[in-house]
Amino acid sequence: MDKLIKMLRHHEGVRHKPYKDTVGKLTIGVGRNLDDNGLSDDEIDYLLKNDINRCMSEAMTYDWFKDLNDARRAVVLSLLFNLGKPRYDKFVNHHEAMADGHMLIASKELLDSRWAKQVGRRADEMAKQLETGEWQ
């Protein structure tokens, strides 16, 4: 199997971002034809777990994150997942409220954003979860 993998990597190349192959098919990795083959549920879960782990590492950079319960941590992780850290870091008033433990203010700051208008109901649910500390 190792020799086959080496051969396929050599012939197909390794691409870390999607690209169009020679016949116009969306492809990634080592010749994975996303148009025809897509991803299996296991592959999707693997990617999601890697993304969650990245978000967890990013969240640990906030001193206040470790003091949150699981429901509130999930909100922060979801925000990092959805927005990315650079955009989430722009929620300055929200971050100040989080650092001070003012969850009501932090949740209102989420709702007073362009993000909240873009995601609609999700923002309402996440703000309530952040405010109450209980899963919605």
Please, what are the domains in the chain?
2-37 (no CATH), 41-132 (1.10.530.40)
Helices 70-83, 121-132: axis angle to 10 degrees equals: 150
Residues 16-37 have pLDDT tens digits of: 999 999 999 999 999 999 999 9
Q: What is the pLDDT of residue 109?
A: 98
Contact between residue 97 and residue 109 where contact means Cβ atoms under 8 Å apart: yes
pTM summary value: 0.90
User: Which three-class secondary structure state does DSSP give residue 118?
Assistant: helix
- Residues 47-103 pLDDT 10s: 999 999 999 999 999 999 999 999 999 999 999 999 999 999 999 999 999 999 999
How far apart CA 89 and CA 85 sit, in angstroms, is 6
